[in-house]
Every structure is written in C-alpha cells, then in structure tokens.
Structure 1
Amino acid sequence: MAVIYLYCIGFVACFYGVGSVLLPNDDKKLPCDVRAQLDSGWVCGSIRPAEEGVQYASFRGIPYAQQPLGALRFKELQNLSPWKDVLLATEEGPICPQYDELYGRLVNSAEMSESCILANVHVPLNISSFGSKSESQDQPKLPILVFIHGGAFQAGSGNSDVHGPEYLVSKGAIVITFNYRLNVFGYLSLNSTKIPGNNGLRDAITLLKWVQRNALAFGGDPDNVTLGGHSSGAVNTHLLSLSEASKGLFKRVILMSGVANAGFYTASPIYAETVAQMFLGLVGINSTDADEIHDQLIQMPLEKIMEGYRVMQFQTAVVAFAAVVESKFDGVTQILDDDPTNLIKQGRGKDLPMIIGSTSNECETFKRKITYLNMVKLIEQNPAIVLAPQITYTVAPTRATELSQTVLDRYFQGNVTIEKYIPCCSDTFFVYPAIKVAEWRASLGGAPAYRYEFNFDSTFNVAKAGLMLNYEGSGHIEDLTFAFRSNSLMRPNEKSFPPRTRDDLMKNWMTSIVVNFMRCSKPVCDDEATWPATDAQQLNYQQISEPVFTNNNVPLTEAQRNMFDFHNQVFQSAGI
C-alpha cells in the first residue's frame, strides 16, 4: 500500500490517503488522513480546510474518560481502558443530555447520550508555526487553547457548529473543545459523597489532565496551555483558576461574558439544596437519605430525569443547576472550597494572566426568552429577581425586598418594561461582575488582567441571524463568533467573510487577541502601551468597536462609574 507523508508536527503521524491505513492486528481497512498515538491508543482523524489556505488535522469525538453510565452516572470520571485498534475520530459524537434555551439556529441538531464525554482536538498543519522547541523534536511545540463551552450550565457542547476552530488554527494554535456533564448530571448537589455537586467542573479537570498526558501526541506544548470559556464556560474557567485541584494544568485564562463572582448564578449551598429538593419532587423521590436518593437516581431512566429537569428549567428561568461550594469528602476531588468572592479576595489564582471580556448589550440576546417568560409579571410578583442571585440567597427575604427596590428605582423609575430590564440584566449579571473582577485583580497585584468591551457593528451578524433578533449594540455571544467560526450558519469549505471587509478584519483582530495572549500572556505582544492592564483606580478597558487595532484603552465613563458604584453599594448593603 502506498502512503505519502504530508506533514509531521510533534509526534503526530500524518498521512495522505492514497490508499488507507491498516488497523493494527486486523485485516480491515480504515480510511485515515492523519493519526496520533495517545496514552490509550491510536486515533484516526481527518484533514480539513481552515482559512487562508491552511489545513488542519481534526480529531473529533475522542473519549477522554470512561463514559459515566449506570452506577457511574454521578461519579467522578474514571480513566479509560486502552483500546487495541485504531479509533475512528473523524466525526463529532453525541452531546450531553440537555434542553437548549439559548442557541437556537446557532447549533445543529445532534444525538444526545450520557456517553458524551468526548474531546475534539484541532491541529494546524501547513503554517509557519511558533512555540518552544521540543527536546526530542526539531518542530516547535504549539500552544494549546482548551475552551469550555457555555450554555448556563444547562446546555451546549464543544462541537464545531458554534466552536469552529478554523480561525484560530489558521493562526497556529491547537484548539481543544470538549463535552462535560450538564444540568442534573453535572451540577446536582446533595452535599454527599455520592452526589457532591460540581461534576461538570471535575470533568474539566479530567480533560485538562488528559491534555497534559497527550499534548505531545498532537504536537502541543503541555507547558503552554491557555484555558478559556464563554458565558457559563467562562464561569467554569474562572472557578477552575481559583481551585487548588487545577494547579499546574494551565498558564492563563480567557473569560468571555462570565466570571466566578456574583453574576447570573450563585454558588450558595442553600440555593443548591433548594433546586435539588425541587428536582427530586418533580421526579417522585421523597426520601431524605442521600445514599437512597443516589441509588434511585442511577436506576432512573434518562427520559424521566430529563422530563423532571425540563419542568424545573422552565420554573427557574434557565439557570437551574450550577456550581456550588462543596464540603470535603474522602475520595472526591474538591473543586470549590469557599465562596468564589472570598477566594478571589484571598488572592487565589492571582498569578494567572487574565483577559476579561463582555459585550455592550449582553442581555439583548436573551430578549425573546425574557419576553416568553413574561419577565415584567415575574418582577412584579417577586422583585428580588432583579438582584444578583448571590444577594438573594445571602440576605433575609425582607432585606432582599428592600435592596431590590433600590434596583427598581434606578433602572425602572416605577414602570417595569422589557426594554428597561435589558440594561438592568446586562449590568447586574455580566458587566458589573466583570469590572469588579478586574478591580480586584489590579488591587491584589500578581499577574495582569486585561478587560475589553465588544461593541462592533458587523455586516453579517452571526448571532442575530442565528437567533433571529435585531437590536443595537453587541449582545451575548457576538464576540465569540469572531473568535470561532459558526459552522452552523456558514458554508463549508468557503471563506467566512469577503476578504478585507469589516467582518473579516474583526475576525483577524479577535483571533489575534486570543493567539497573542497564548504566546506572550498579553493581548498585544509587541507594544504594551497600546493595551495596558487594568488599573485599580481608572478601571481602564479596551473598547473593541473597530475592525482594526487602535489604541482605544479608556477609563470608565461617568455613566459606567455611576453604575459600578451603585452595584458596589448594593453588595455592601447586603454585607457581601
């Protein structure tokens, strides 16, 4: 059989499919463009076109641990047993069980299964790569971006419909995305050994350890891993940076529209207990014994669990299960040992360089969902829902009502409307928490933190097209669509945007920010003055509103400062 070697990056064995690659110890044949030897066995991938004439090796649907089936449904992930033959990894596998409330046409329909613990690895090939030289290879080892998908802890996947790697691999970065357990399976907490909560975060730790063991097999540098995430994926990223369990697994973090402190979720054990009891009632479990509850849940059909969760998700307005402060249990990796706000103030993770991003009009993306939920009526019935959940589950109900009135006075002036709720939502759940993290990081010393606000008027707006919305400014997800290709809405094997147009230039700008940060821990490597780190007094940030880089690093405006001071006062009044 004729095999032509096209590329070899690191320890990746690359082949052009003149014939096919034989399966070891078998007489069957398997079409294989590219393969790599992992610690658990060989994987066969495909060579795909990226952009600018670049090709990349794509390994999709690789299991990074045993699948959590049966008795393993709520256990910490177990190591894989090696496989004998070559594993076909050319297509994405099933996504984790979920109900999508956010992404709409941005995501493709996909099979759902609890056998969803899968990683996708994308490696650039025919480019002038960068990185440190391997001791055993002439080729430089490539920097790695591990990216955690969003979806409010409830939905999403690492698939290329939303997280197409084409833009970033074209700039010489290895991109790794993955699925992790969601909603009930990822974040249900009974505060017990068998269901401690935070399984989604433990899955991410397992994936990061898998990357450390297998980075060289893909030509990657295990000492140059950047961890990033969007929305709840950014929250997970930030939480992992605060966790002792993740030490040494990554060097820097990118947070896009999500941080670990008070935002659109709370890590309160009181909240976790509340939603657990609500869910157990919906699936007909009346026991109060944690072990007995666990035994019933691992035997319960997936369909019954998901039906109970579906009802609960509607009742809790999307964010049902979330990360939680854990008790310490023998044999369980503890991820979150204190409230994230306390950990940040204590300086956990302060030595990791950080990018913190938000958009100019975050909650416009959720307008259809907000309207469907009849948010005006919900606020009238329970004014406390305008507060950050951390406040609601920290103070007494009467105090929450008092504090919510100050928010109502500022944002609504006696007339609650959807239009007025949008900026309240954006400030409370996204913008204020992002600025606060930047302030804390600047005050603590340690590694620099860089903040940006994305406010770009694009010609073809992927987010608005996918969600069928129209609004001013940039909403949630929009910055992500210029760092990752939205393959659900873009034609395969075609350039995403016409060359040198505003959209094409913005794609280049956003991916440059990410890849520069992977290279030098700064968003701009060659001229630090053009994007300085956030200062604790000025709270400066980069305005990303034009598709080419300009020095647009500015302090908070008077209106932004007033908003920031207002929310500071609300939290201080709550004793947080």
Structure 2
Amino acid sequence: MAGHVVNVKQGWLRGTTMSSTVGGSYIVFKGIPFAASPVGNLRFADPHPPEPWTGVRDAIQERSKCIQIDGVTSTVDGDEDCLYLNVTTTSLKGSRPVMVWIHGGGFMVGDGSLDSYGPDYLMKTDIVLVSIQYRLGVFGFLQLDHEVVPGNAGLKDQVAALKWVKDNIAQFGGDPNNITIFGESAGSASVHFHLLSPLSKGLFHKAIMQSGVTLNPWIDCTTSLGPAHLLTATLGRETTDPHEIVEHLRKVPAEKLLYAQGEACTPEDKFHFLVSFRPCVDDKSQQPFMPKLPQDLVENSVDVPVIIGYNTHEGILSLMETTEKSPLELLQDDFEIAVSQDLIAKDPSKISEVAKEIRDFYFKDQEITKEMINEYVQYYGDVHFVNGILKVVEYHQRRKGPTYLYRFSYDSPKSLVKIEGVEGAAHTDDIPYIFYSARFSERLKLEPNSVEQTISDRMVRMWTDFAKTGNPTPQIDDLITVKWDPVTRTDKNYLQIGAELSAGVNPNPEVQELFKRIFDIVNRQ
C-alpha cells in the first residue's frame, strides 16, 4: 500500500492506493474530519470547525457512519462522532472537476461509505469524488423554533463539508472553482436545499438531483414542536422550555434517544414517509439555513446548470414500509390518506374533492386490493416524487442556466427493491450504474458487454461530462447516441434512460394534467 501525503488546513494527511474493480487504481483519503465531533455540549448544535492536529494523520480507515437504527436488524448502528468525509482521486497533481456526493436515506439512515458508494466507475473519468456524512434523525434535525436549537444541524453539516471541500480540494488535484453537488432521494432533496439556502451560495457550481426535491411532500418544512415535546416527555421530562429540553436531551444516552425518536410517528406519517425530525424553517437561527419555506424560495434558487429526474416507478419504495396494515389496506379504509398535505395546503377543506380526483384517475371505481398494486405504485410515485420534481422544473424553465430533465426507466431483474408482480424502475434503481457497491457486489455485478454495463457507461459519462462542462452530452457517438436538450420556456425536453437512450418532450402529460386539475380545485374560490 503506497502512501500519499497532502497538507490541508488542519494538518497533514496520509492516504493510500486502492485497486479498482474495473482495472487500474485510485488514491483515497478516508475519514477526514470536516467539523468538530458533535458530542456532549455540541449535540444538536451547529457544526463547529474541525480541530487541527500535529504530525501526519492517517486517512486510510473510514470512520463510523452517523448513528442510526439498522433497517434490517433494528439495532443501533454508527456513532455520534461521524462528521467525516472521503476523497478519491487519480492524481494529487492538476486541477480536475470535483463531484460531491450526498447520500439518501430519508434523513434517518444511510452513509457516505465506499462500501455503499464505491468510486470505481467514476474514477475512470478523471474527476475528484468526495462523499460526505451528516447527522441524521433527532441528532441532525431536532428543532425547537428557538435559537437554542433552531434546527437543520444536519444540513449545516453538509454546508461545513462543502466549505471544507472549497478550502482544501486543490490539494487532492481538484478544482475548487468547478464543484458539482449530487445526491439521490434525501440526498437529492439536500442538493435542492443548497440551491435555495443563503448559506450554500458560492460553494458549488452545478447540481444533480436524482429522485428528490424540497417540494416533495415527504420533506414538509413546516415547523412543529410536537415531536420534540413528545420525545422529551417519553424520555422522562415534562417541559416545553427549550433550554430545559436541550439540557435534558444532551444527557440522554445516544442509543436511548435513537429508539425514542420514532414514538411521534403516526401511521399517516409513515404512509407519506414523513419522519418526525426533518428539515424545517430555521428562522430563529443566528445563521438560518432555510429562512423561509422552500416554496417561497424556489423561484429565486441559485442559477447554475442542473440535471434533475426521477425513476418511472418510484412508488415501489412505499411497499417496503412495514406497518400493521399494508398501504393498500390503509387507502381502502380511508382514501383521504392518499392526499398529501402539499396538495391541499391552500385549502384543506377541499380534501374530499382532491381525493376523488386522485381515486378516479388511478383506481377508477375499483376496490383497492392487491390486484391494484401497479396502479398504487404509479399513484404513490406521482404524488410523492414526480409532481414536486416537475414543479421544480417549471420554475427552472424561466431561468437562464440549463436544466436537463431525465426519466430513468430500466427495469432491472437485479433491483434491490424488486417486488413480485410489479414492473418498472424503482426508487434507488439508478444508483448501481453510477457507483460500485461492494456491499451488494454479487447481486449488482455488471457483466461485460451487458445492457447494464452500457447503461452504467452512459450514465457515468453523462454525469461526469456535465460536471466537467455543464453539458451532459457534448459529444454524440456510439455510446451517447442522443443529444440531451435542456428544458425551454415552452417545453419540458427530457432524456429517457433505459436499455436505450431516447429524447422526448413533456413526460407524463396526463399526470401533469391531473395535478393542474387539483391545483384548480384547491385554488377555486
């Protein structure tokens, strides 16, 4: 293992060389601290600058993921001390485009590890890759609508990581003036938050959003003190005083806090993937990350080149949720649960009319049984993902910077979230074509000359060409066979990414018409 040494603002770091699964090797620096450890009195606080060190610090082992409950074993995984990032590069010399990956996981789980998001495919393209961690669940998103804990610590962790990248990435052969942030699901919504936040301005130059924006209903940034008060009471202290709450919760063992955080989640919240502790308006902060609701900021988002898109069957995700009743049974019992809050925010009294519109469109007059699973998947994906993403695209149609829209449609038999009897590209199905996953290497292996290998080659090239130039298809050839046009003021041009590439205009027009009818119902006097 060769040693590579760089000097960042906090001190010297030693990295190592790793062999790539696709041939060749790359240099990696693992577990670099970009903020102080958020423990003790720094639990729930905004991130503090990292401590400097003397001598050469080894950056050859990854550090722990942020503390969370493992979805498979229901046991505690990770650590509170988790504000670290990884940098992979092919050379410490030169000045190459930088891509910063923000992982998904509903702001509750996930990590930026090389096991989950291996850089092997991206390292073929001469970019520098950074993957970051940020506090999750109550640790990152407790909010008390008060300056003592205004909220969004997890998103401010991401800002701290971006500042670190801007300050130090030149030492790794990266160009601090050409940084692309990209993410999937909650990571994608995070990217959109950075397009809106005053704290993130100037820290990046391009953005890629895969299956998530701040206008999706599972974000819902309205401020609610209920979860914090309920959590505090569950953990033995009846008080609504913000100072007392923080003092009490900072003394509770991390594991106990973690298990208690789910107590405030209702079946309705679970149905809509609304977690109790999530991004919010933090206008009581001395430095607000989100001074207003996203819908009030989206029109004036940072005007940089953007790729944005979704998978054709995002709704398969909701079938993975374990609740006493299946999602289809919940709908059959009370269809009004189908209406997410964002659809009726202007006039909640219209919920019955909106519910009827949704039911007529997706389910006609039929009973909602297991036989309606494909209709349910389409409903769920459109309401919880597609509608918000296309709304953001409409705002971007009025901007100068190019916005490239895509639909990912490849239905892989290797999907990690495949449900029997349900076809289509599920939530997260796009990730294995960009990242090598050591964790699922047998299941997701790309066979040479396969359709999957071609899809991966195409996506890696388009994503990295975009990072380099702001244009995902600067060159048409045997691999990239179609020019990807940005949206215009009048047309939502898009690229369909399946077994083949194909260009289209205005995806899902009937779905867009449905949401226009719902908008008219809710805004009708």
TM-score for both structures, normalised by structure 1: 0.83
Which residue of the partner structure matches residue 212 of structure 2? 258
In the TM superposition, what is the alpha-carbon distance from 1:535 to its structure 2 partner?
2.8
Query: In 1, are the aligned partners of 2:283 and 2:292 still within 8 Å (CA)?
Result: no
2-structure distance, mates of 1:58, 1:515:
19
Q: Deviations over 1:214-246 (max 9, x none)?
A: 111111110010011100110011011111111
1-structure distance, mates of 2:425, 2:468:
28
Query: In 2, are the aligned partners of 1:497 and 1:504 still within 8 Å (CA)?
Result: yes
Alpha-carbon spacing, 1:319–1:79, altered in 2? closer, same or farther (3 Å): same
What is the correspondence of 1:2-401 to structure 2 with a 5 Å cutoff?
17=2, 33-101=3-71, 111-125=77-91, 139-269=93-223, 272-313=224-265, 315=267, 316-317=269-270, 318-320=273-275, 321-330=277-286, 333-345=287-299, 347-349=300-302, 351-369=303-321, 373-380=325-332, 382-391=334-343, 395-396=347-348, 398-401=349-352
Determine which of 405, 408, 425 is the counterpart of 1:454.
408
2-structure distance, mates of 1:262, 1:574:
18
Determine which of 344, 347, 355 is the counterpart of 1:404.
355
Which residue of the partner structure matches residue 483 of structure 1? 434
Whether 1:564 and 2:512 are equivalent positions in the alignment is yes
SS where residue 194 of structure 1 aligns? coil
SS where residue 515 of structure 1 aligns? helix
Letter in 1 for 2:84: L
Gaps of 5+ in 1: 1-15, 18-32, 126-136
Which residue of the partner structure matches residue 453 of structure 2? 504
In the TM superposition, what is the alpha-carbon distance from 1:399 to its structure 2 partner?
3.1
Alpha-carbon spacing, 1:412–1:371, altered in 2? closer, same or farther (3 Å): farther
Which residue of the partner structure matches residue 422 of structure 1? 377
Alpha-carbon spacing, 1:357–1:370, altered in 2? closer, same or farther (3 Å): farther
1-structure distance, mates of 2:89, 2:423:
37
Which residue of the partner structure matches residue 6 of structure 1? none
2-structure distance, mates of 1:407, 1:379:
12
2-structure distance, mates of 1:481, 1:373:
31
Q: Deviations over 1:347-389 (max 9, x none)?
A: 222x111101211111213323267652234335554432233
Which residue of the partner structure matches residue 523 of structure 1? 472
Determine which of 472, 477, 480 is the counterpart of 2:423.
472
SS where residue 258 of structure 1 aligns? coil
2-structure distance, mates of 1:110, 1:449:
40
In the TM superposition, what is the alpha-carbon distance from 1:571 to its structure 2 partner?
3.3
Determine which of 487, 495, 500 is the counterpart of 1:542.
495
Query: In 2, are the aligned partners of 1:95 and 1:110 still within 8 Å (CA)?
Result: no
2-structure distance, mates of 1:308, 1:392:
31
SS where residue 68 of structure 2 aligns? coil
Alpha-carbon spacing, 1:275–1:568, altered in 2? closer, same or farther (3 Å): farther
SS where residue 447 of structure 2 aligns? coil
Alpha-carbon spacing, 1:546–1:77, altered in 2? closer, same or farther (3 Å): same
SS where residue 170 of structure 1 aligns? helix
2-structure distance, mates of 1:149, 1:348:
22
SS where residue 180 of structure 1 aligns? coil
In the TM superposition, what is the alpha-carbon distance from 1:469 to its structure 2 partner?
6.0
1-structure distance, mates of 2:194, 2:462:
22
In the TM superposition, what is the alpha-carbon distance from 1:437 to its structure 2 partner?
1.4
Alpha-carbon spacing, 1:49–1:392, altered in 2? closer, same or farther (3 Å): farther
Which residue of the partner structure matches residue 533 of structure 1? 486
1-structure distance, mates of 2:344, 2:89:
45
2-structure distance, mates of 1:362, 1:246:
28
In the TM superposition, what is the alpha-carbon distance from 1:93 to its structure 2 partner?
1.4
2-structure distance, mates of 1:281, 1:392:
31
In the TM superposition, what is the alpha-carbon distance from 1:334 to its structure 2 partner?
0.8
2-structure distance, mates of 1:286, 1:421:
41
Of 232-241 and 356-365, the range deviating more from structure 2: 356-365
Alpha-carbon spacing, 1:238–1:192, altered in 2? closer, same or farther (3 Å): same
In the TM superposition, what is the alpha-carbon distance from 1:392 to its structure 2 partner?
5.6
Query: In 2, are the aligned partners of 1:359 and 1:454 still within 8 Å (CA)?
Result: yes
SS where residue 299 of structure 1 aligns? coil
Alpha-carbon spacing, 1:513–1:470, altered in 2? closer, same or farther (3 Å): farther
Query: In 1, are the aligned partners of 2:67 and 2:76 still within 8 Å (CA)?
Result: no
Count of residues in Structure 1 that have an aligned counterpart in Structure 2: 512
Letter in 2 for 1:429: H
Gaps of 5+ in 2: none
Query: In 2, are the aligned partners of 1:95 and 1:116 still within 8 Å (CA)?
Result: yes
1-structure distance, mates of 2:341, 2:70:
22
In the TM superposition, what is the alpha-carbon distance from 1:491 to its structure 2 partner?
5.9
2-structure distance, mates of 1:199, 1:400:
34
Query: In 2, are the aligned partners of 1:365 and 1:469 still within 8 Å (CA)?
Result: no
Alpha-carbon spacing, 1:371–1:524, altered in 2? closer, same or farther (3 Å): farther
SS where residue 574 of structure 1 aligns? helix
Q: Deviations over 1:304-329 (max 9, x none)?
A: 21121143457531431221122243
Letter in 1 for 2:36: Q
Which residue of the partner structure matches residue 521 of structure 2? 573
SS where residue 204 of structure 2 aligns? coil
1-structure distance, mates of 2:100, 2:127:
10
Query: In 2, are the aligned partners of 1:154 and 1:319 still within 8 Å (CA)?
Result: no
Alpha-carbon spacing, 1:373–1:144, altered in 2? closer, same or farther (3 Å): farther
In the TM superposition, what is the alpha-carbon distance from 1:194 to its structure 2 partner?
1.5
2-structure distance, mates of 1:575, 1:306:
41
Alpha-carbon spacing, 1:520–1:186, altered in 2? closer, same or farther (3 Å): same
Q: Deviations over 1:136-180 (max 9, x none)?
A: x9x430111111100011111101232111111121111111110
Query: In 2, are the aligned partners of 1:35 and 1:45 still within 8 Å (CA)?
Result: yes
TM-score for both structures, normalised by structure 2: 0.91
Of 433-442 and 233-242, the range deviating more from structure 2: 433-442
In the TM superposition, what is the alpha-carbon distance from 1:393 to its structure 2 partner?
5.6
SS where residue 227 of structure 1 aligns? strand
2-structure distance, mates of 1:66, 1:530:
45
Whether 1:554 and 2:514 are equivalent positions in the alignment is no
CA root-mean-square deviation: 2.6
2-structure distance, mates of 1:531, 1:225:
21
SS where residue 166 of structure 1 aligns? coil
Alpha-carbon spacing, 1:385–1:292, altered in 2? closer, same or farther (3 Å): same
2-structure distance, mates of 1:338, 1:553:
36
In the TM superposition, what is the alpha-carbon distance from 1:78 to its structure 2 partner?
0.8
1-structure distance, mates of 2:488, 2:121:
31
Which residue of the partner structure matches residue 12 of structure 1? none
2-structure distance, mates of 1:154, 1:357:
22
SS where residue 62 of structure 1 aligns? strand
2-structure distance, mates of 1:59, 1:389:
43
